[in-house]
Amino acid sequence: MIRFEAVTKKYDDGTTAVDHLDLTAPTGKITVLVGPSGCGKTTSLRMINRMITPTSGTVLIDDQDTASLPAAKLRRGIGYVIQHAGLFPHRTIVDNIATVPVLNGVSRRQARTQALELMERVGLSPDFAKRYPAQLSGGQQQRVGVARALAADPPVMLMDEPFSAVDPVVRDQLQDEFLRLQAELGKTIVFVTHDIDEAIKLGDQIAVLRVGGTLAQLASPHELLTRPGDAFVAGFVGRDRGYRALGFADADLPVSGEPTVRLGDDVGSGAQWVLVLDHGDAPQGWIDRRTTSGQVTADILRRGGTLATQGGSLRSALDACLSSPSGRGVVVDDAGRFVGTLRLETVIARIEADAAGSQEVPT
Ligand SMILES: Nc1ncnc2c1ncn2[C@@H]1O[C@H](COP(=O)(O)OP(=O)(O)OP(=O)(O)O)[C@@H](O)[C@H]1O
């Protein structure tokens, strides 16, 4: 657990970057610091590993005052990942990752073996081991940055906009992989970003800071979206927060049966829309019987609808209904097999009930 107690940082020119910050980052969780440019995110992060010394207040890790530890010892337990990865340009990828373990006394050979394992963990082919950072894409370099920070197996990781310098598609992949890795490793992570969507996706808890370095709100992503503390937080979180909050609401909704046919069957007669399944029960698309007859083939299907997973979120249930040609949302199990369909009215009724319920909770 990392704890900020009344931490203030005033720079020599009189700028107050962080002002009486009280904050706890729980063990094994991701705490995201988010806020507009200049609100003191990086300064706060660097006070944890003492790259920056607080003007007053205390930063504790597992109840130990970080100021009482030698800086080198403190940093051995803290991985640090920054934007553009900050790799050593004249060292190969494998040696970049092996650097800290070697400094800690691990043999070069063993450190390289571990580095290769870590490359695999962060989704990098071992073929890159002998390359230099400039020979990798931005996304690959960020993966090396994460692998290097993990190499000494530190309990704490500090991450400063690690995925900001890559395009949105790669960023999305890096975020997904990062979440998978964290589910395995359970590090105590403090993650800085200016991107509220990234904060909501990654954070177990989110600290919104305002310029001047004060804490505007500390909350879970769901709470931040549904109950922003004030106008500043509401503005920062964004306008479509009501819809995005549905992504955190479980949709344990009753599904209905649905007429289905399989590829190769006759379209048949009956209700206007019929759902087509493959031989493993995976939904393939819909057929409009008003305009189609004869054998069901892949090229006559109306595709395009998203699928909702059983036990998934209200947002995915709503999207499945809205994107389905028949207006009925298709629900599948974890293996992608058809379970039933959802009606828009059912999803809307649940949204209304949840909204009414959350208004009854005292704030
Ligand atoms: N070395 C320094 N000397 C003086 N002022 C500084 C110094 N470093 C940062 N600041 C100021 O402290 C404030 C907080 O800076 P910090 O870099 O912590 O913000 P940030 O939230 O990380 O910003 P960004 O999102 O733009 O990176 C800013 O007003 C900044 O100009």
Which residues, 6 or more positions from 236, have their beta carbon under 8 angstroms from its beta carbon? Answer: 34, 35, 36, 196, 208, 216
196 CA from centroid of ligand 1 (Å): 19
332 - beta bridge partners?
309, 338
Give the residue, out of 8, 12, 39, with the most ligand 1 atoms within 8 A of its beta carbon, to mutate for a pocket test: 39
Ligand 1 close to Cβ of residue 194 (< 6 A): yes
Tens of each residue's pLDDT in the chain, 363 residues:
999 999 999 999 999 999 999 999 999 999 999 999 999 999 999 999 999 999 999 999 999 999 999 998 898 889 888 887 678 989 999 999 998 888 888 899 999 999 999 898 888 899 999 999 999 888 888 889 888 888 888 899 999 998 887 788 888 888 988 898 899 889 999 999 988 989 999 999 999 999 999 999 999 998 998 889 999 999 888 877 778 888 887 778 889 999 999 988 998 888 889 999 999 999 999 999 888 888 888 888 888 788 999 888 899 999 999 999 999 999 999 999 999 999 999 999 988 888 777 654 444
Helix 108-121 to helix 93-103 angle (10° resolution) is 120
Structure confidence at residue 123 (pLDDT): 85
Pocket test for ligand 1, best of 4, 10, 11, 161 (most atoms within 8 A of CB): 11
Is any ligand 1 atom within 6 A of the Cβ of residue 226? Answer: no
Q: How far is CA 124 from each of CA 119, 135, 139, 166, 222, rounded to the nearest angstrom?
A: 5, 13, 10, 16, 33
Looking at CATH, the fold of the domain delimited by 2-246 is given as Rossmann fold (3.40.50)
Q: How far is the CA of 40 from the centre of ligand 1 (A)?
A: 6
Separation of 38 CA from ligand 1 center, angstroms?
5
Q: Is residue 13 lining ligand 1, measured as CB closer than 6 Å? A: yes
In short, whether 83's Cβ falls inside 6 Å of ligand 1 is: no
pLDDT of residue 359: 56
> Looking at residue 16, what is its pLDDT?
95
What separation in Å is there between the alpha carbon of 284 and the centre of ligand 1?
52
Q: Which CATH architecture has domain 260-351?
A: Roll (3.10)
